[in-house]
Amino acid sequence: MSKRVTSFDVAALAGVSQSAVSRVFSGASASKDTADKVRRAATKLGYRPNVLARSLITGRSRIIGLVVAYLGNPFYPDALERFSRMLQAEGYHTLVFTLAEGATDADADRVIQQMLDHQVDGIVLASVGLGDALARRCDTAGIPVVLFNRGQEGSGLAQVTSANREGGRKVAEFLVAGGHERIGHVSGWQGSSTGRDRTRGFLDELEALGHAVVGVEDGRYDHAAAIDATQRLVDAGVDALFVGNDHMAFAVLDHLRSELGLSVPGDVSVVGYDDVPMASFAGYDLTTVRQPVGRMVKTTVAALIEQIEDKTAQAGIIEIDGPLILRGSARIPEGLR
């Protein structure tokens, strides 16, 4: 390993000052002539600017902290992959932090501190399960934050979600149009805004259509809890279930078919939320509301970068609408066939 080549080495070979080299590589103004000389010398020596030194002085690391709780729900790996790719394209990099669901405030503080230590330029909080405290602390630290797939009322933080209430509404409309009479709901975690919003949109629309809900059980975005909830709703005699996300819906389908021997959608229709890749597998073939991950990620990145580059940028609340994807797990109304 040879010694690391610095901007001074390049300057010496090119016959200019170190500042000239710096200016060429940081995009500042420089004459065509010197720029050429510098570039030639740089490639000859294999020079690359030292990111650490650069960050140290500019105070900008071009690193984004991505906090995520649980990658078992395939929606998040998908998002993570897109975040990494998109940030890479924008010249940023992704430092991943995992924070278990049951994390205490002390854990959250530790993660925040570590992100501060690395001087991340911005933070994406990508998990419903992450407590409000974390978001507040990020914001207090003066670092741009965007909540991804997660809202927080009145926090003033930027947030990008799908149109959860509208999505819930669509499902209600669809199930009623399908002629279902005893509709139940395995909700997403009611401690999260996504869970609450989907539930509210669903229930509001049911009411507007003159239908009562047979029962609402909190599945807490958890496999086992969803199965318990399903059991209770089946006991109550449902003929349709709206499940708060696909991850739970798979558990629900398995339980209905394998444990209870019920036919889907013959005995019970099931509708999920997310449209993760697996939802289209023939084994599940799940009717579900699509969260347009690509657009959500793109929007999140754009919002974050805007905040980074212009500290006065207003933090907005952005909802992205997604369609209901019709598949085989729920009876389809005549008019839509």
Partner DNA sequence: CCGAGTCTTGCATAGGTGTGCAACGAACGC
Partner DNA sequence: GCGTTCGTTGCACACCTATGCAAGACTCGG
Residue ranges binding its own copies (CB under 8 A): 1, 48-53, 55-56, 61, 63, 68, 70-72, 74, 76-78, 80-81, 84-85, 88, 93-98, 113-114, 116-119, 142, 250-251, 253-255, 257-259, 277-278, 281-285
**Shortest CA distance to 246 belongs to which of 218, 278, 216, 224?**
278
191-196's contacts with Cβ under 8 Å and 24+ in sequence apart are: 191/220, 192/128, 192/129, 192/150, 192/221, 193/128, 193/150, 193/151, 193/152, 193/153, 193/161, 193/164, 194/128, 194/149, 194/150, 194/151, 194/161, 194/164, 195/128, 195/221, 195/244
Indicate the residue among 22 and 155 with the shorter CB distance to DNA.
22
Indicate the residue among 315 and 318 with the shorter CB distance to its own copies.
315
Q: Is 49 in the site for DNA (CB under 7 A)?
A: yes
Q: Under the phi-then-psi rule, with left for phi > 0, alpha for psi from -120 to 50, and beta for the rest, what region is 210?
A: left
CA distances (Å), origin 62, targets 18, 58, 65, 98: 23, 10, 10, 20
Can you tell me which of 43, 44, 56, 208 binds DNA, judged by CB under 7 A? 56
Could you tell me the smallest distance in angstroms from the CB atom of residue 136 to DNA? 25
Q: Is 26 in the site for DNA (CB under 7 A)?
A: yes
Instruction: Give the one entry of DNA, its own copies, none that residue 31 binds, where binding means its C-beta sits below a cut-off of 5 to 8 angstroms depending on kind.
Output: DNA
Indicate the residue among 71 and 225 with the shorter CB distance to its own copies.
71
Could you tell me the smallest distance in angstroms from the CB atom of residue 312 to its own copies? 14
Instruction: Give the one entry of DNA, its own copies, none that residue 94 binds, where binding means its C-beta sits below a cut-off of 5 to 8 angstroms depending on kind.
Output: its own copies
Tell me how far apart the alpha carbons of residues 128 and 295 are, in angstroms, rounded to a whole number: 18
Can you tell me which of 41, 44, 54, 139 binds DNA, judged by CB under 7 A? 54
Could you tell me the smallest distance in angstroms from the CB atom of residue 166 to its own copies? 28
Q: What sign for the dihedral angle of Cα 193, 194, 195, 201?
A: positive
Q: Is 17 in the site for DNA (CB under 7 A)?
A: yes
Instruction: Give the one entry of DNA, its own copies, none that residue 58 binds, where binding means its C-beta sits below a cut-off of 5 to 8 angstroms depending on kind.
Output: DNA
Could you tell me the smallest distance in angstroms from the CB atom of residue 48 to DNA? 7
Indicate the residue among 80 and 125 with the shorter CB distance to its own copies.
80
Helix (H) or strand (E) holding 88: helix 75-89
Could you tell me the smallest distance in angstroms from the CB atom of residue 310 to DNA? 16
Could you tell me the smallest distance in angstroms from the CB atom of residue 326 to DNA? 53
Tell me how far apart the alpha carbons of residues 17 and 28 are, in angstroms, rounded to a whole number: 14
Contact of 160 with 147, CB cutoff 8 Å: yes
Tell me how far apart the alpha carbons of residues 254 and 263 are, in angstroms, rounded to a whole number: 11
Q: Is 28 in the site for DNA (CB under 7 A)?
A: yes
Tell me how far apart the alpha carbons of residues 143 and 95 are, in angstroms, rounded to a whole number: 15
Q: What angle do CA 132, 156, 171 make, to 5 degrees?
A: 75
Q: Is 117 in the site for DNA (CB under 7 A)?
A: no
Instruction: Give the one entry of its own copies, DNA, none that residue 71 binds, where binding means its C-beta sits below a cut-off of 5 to 8 angstroms depending on kind.
Output: its own copies
Q: How many residues are given for the chain?
A: 337
Binding region for DNA (CB under 7 A): 3-4, 6-8, 16-20, 22-23, 25-26, 28-31, 33-34, 47-50, 53-54, 56-58
